[in-house]
Chains A and B, each alone.
Chain A
Amino acid sequence: MIDNTRRSRKHGARAAVISIFVFLLIWQAATTFTSLGILMPSPLISLSAFFKSFIVPIGPYPIFIHIYWSLVRVVPFYIVGAIAGIILGITMGWYKPVAAIFRPIFEILRPIPPIAWIPIAIVWFGIGEGSKWFLIFLAAFMNVTINSFAGARSTDPVLVGCSKMLGASDWQIFTTVVLPGSVPYIFAGLQVALSSSWATIVAAEMIRSSEGVGWIIISSQETNNSVNTLVGVVAIGIVGFILAVIMREVEAVLVKWTKRDI
């Protein structure tokens, strides 16, 4: 069994490398042999520009400083949004009156894309950092809330009955059954929310900013510098991927009980 999973993981990694390589190859071919090359730089150019940008600044800073600035905007407000989402989602999923009050509002707000919030964010929080934080908070909050809600809703009624029989109070049932039972769902939500918060950085940095990976994309678009646009895209992609991997590892450490290791 262990042997099998290890083998399948190795297969998975190999398949991932091949698929990325093939994608780059097609991209290279398309930009070399077709007129697409006029509109869009090839992967060789883009990737070398990406690596070069670690030394040669884009605008004021090299790329890693931009990434740092974007992470400083995203990570804290992702965490705040996630915590708020877990609290609201779980209580909404478990306590019916809470759901009755908040769910309708939540369901109306949920389909609104981050970009649509920009004007409102500016009115509420100005064009400084506040409105950016708000957009990132929102992206995390929405995804985590909906998943935590689903998690609490899916609490096994037999486990609840079992806990009652063993003498647990309502509050103990909430903390010892509903909460741990929701953890896999919460993590699924945290995972989606992380990608979504990170992706929101582009929208957030559309609101006046002078640094960050979103800023690279927006400013390069204004100057028609398609190589730098792609450098920004690559940076967002790679950082997003690394964040997702970190999140999965955190989950693997915290949620041991869903794994089967015999």
Chain B
Amino acid sequence: MDEARHMSKSIIVAQGISKTFTNKRGSTKVIENINLEVRENEFLCLVGPGQCGKTTAVNVLSGLEPASTGTVKINGKTITRPGPDRGFVFQSTALYPWLTVMGNVEYGPKVRGIKKSERREKAQYYINLVGLEGFEHSYPNQLSGGMQQRVGIARAYCNEPVVLFMDQPFGALDAQTRYLMQEEIIRIWETAKRTIVFVTNNIEEAIYLADRIVLLTNTPTQIKKEYKIDFPRPRDYTDPDFLALREEITNEMDKTL
């Protein structure tokens, strides 16, 4: 297993990325010198305390925001702006409220000029994959929070990107729906393997999902520690090893006030 992982190539290579925000009151360094490699088809979780620069980190890694310094390469190509070779799942779901589920999922292929029959077929495949068959014509506000996030995942997948970035996608869900969605995202990922960079503040969620956890510090955010997670899937939240690791990471994580 480990051997195989070393063999697989790095999809994301981030070198020395920092991000500073400047406003009237001065400048704030939000992330500082992050170096990170993510391998093909790896499920990587970025975990950090409350208000640390997790979101900024994933925004910069995905090209949603430019880095102040440093470079991010995806498949060897330097990233400077958003692009359809990357998928993004937002915490706020960011669905287009005026489009149906189908309209949302096929949005990417549509704006890229893919013809209707082809993009419909593709969208239908991913709608089925996330378990929303029968809801193609519903509007987002007719769906529950968990279902909305399924749409977000299908939409990101539908462009068939190389990498998927997910910024705390289950943050607004209740604990039980969250467990369901964690099982679901693993099922989806195992069916349609992609490289996933998943941001969360929930250590339990990270241990359940990840091949590797990268623990971030408080701002200015740096990498504090990495954990390789080798527990077989499906994982058990109450397994003693699982709980022990959860405690270890909890203690290691920077404190928030």
> Which residues in A have some Cβ–Cβ distance to B below 8 Å?
156, 158-159, 161-169, 172, 176-177, 180-181, 183, 255-262
Residue from B94, B98, B139 within 8 A of A158 (CB atoms): B94
Q: Could you list some 23 contacts between A and B, CB below 8 A? A: A158-B90, A159-B94, A161-B64, A162-B94, A163-B107, A164-B64, A164-B82, A164-B83, A165-B62, A165-B64, A165-B86, A165-B88, A166-B112, A166-B155, A167-B83, A167-B84, A167-B112, A168-B107, A172-B111, A176-B96, A255-B98, A257-B98, A259-B141
- CB neighbours (8 Å) of A261 from chain B are 142
- CB neighbours (8 Å) of A260 from chain B are 141-142
- CB neighbours (8 Å) of A162 from chain B are 88, 90, 94
Q: Which residue from chain B places its CB closest to the CB of A161 in the assembled complex?
A: B64
Contact A165-B111, Cβ < 8 Å, known A177-B96, A183-B98, A261-B142: no
- Are B107 and A165 in contact, CB atoms less than 8 angstroms apart? no
- CB neighbours (8 Å) of B92 from chain A are 158
In the bound complex, CA of A177 to CA of B94 (Å): 11
- CB neighbours (8 Å) of B86 from chain A are 165
Q: Which residue from chain B places its CB closest to the CB of A164 in the assembled complex?
A: B82
- Are A180 and B64 in contact, CB atoms less than 8 angstroms apart? no
Cβ distance A73 to chain B, nearest Cβ, rounded Å? 34
In the bound complex, CA of A159 to CA of B82 (Å): 13
In the bound complex, CA of A180 to CA of B64 (Å): 22
- Would you call the interface of chain B mostly helix, strand, loop, or mixed? loop
- CB neighbours (8 Å) of B139 from chain A are 256-257
- Are A166 and B107 in contact, CB atoms less than 8 angstroms apart? yes
- B48 close to chain A: CB less than 8 A: no
In the bound complex, CA of A259 to CA of B86 (Å): 32
- CB neighbours (8 Å) of A183 from chain B are 98
In the bound complex, CA of A163 to CA of B92 (Å): 14
- Are A258 and B97 in contact, CB atoms less than 8 angstroms apart? yes
Residue from A156, A163, A181, A257 within 8 A of B111 (CB atoms): A163
- B159 close to chain A: CB less than 8 A: yes
- B81 close to chain A: CB less than 8 A: yes
- Are A159 and B96 in contact, CB atoms less than 8 angstroms apart? yes
- B66 close to chain A: CB less than 8 A: no
Proximity string of chain B (84-112) to chain A, C-beta cutoff 8 Å, 1 when within and 0 when not: 10111010101011110000000110011
Proximity string of chain B (22-65) to chain A, C-beta cutoff 8 Å, 1 when within and 0 when not: 00000000000000000000000000000000000000001110
Residue from B82, B141, B142 within 8 A of A165 (CB atoms): B82
- CB neighbours (8 Å) of B82 from chain A are 161, 164-165
In the bound complex, CA of A166 to CA of B84 (Å): 5
- Are A169 and B97 in contact, CB atoms less than 8 angstroms apart? no
Cβ distance A186 to chain B, nearest Cβ, rounded Å? 13
In the bound complex, CA of A162 to CA of B95 (Å): 9
The 9 A-B residue pairs with the shortest CB-CB distance in the complex, in nearest-first order: A167-B84, A166-B108, A164-B82, A168-B111, A165-B82, A180-B98, A162-B94, A257-B98, A167-B112
Residue from A169, A180, A256 within 8 A of B96 (CB atoms): A180
Cβ distance A57 to chain B, nearest Cβ, rounded Å? 49
- CB neighbours (8 Å) of A159 from chain B are 94, 96
- CB neighbours (8 Å) of A161 from chain B are 64, 82, 88, 94
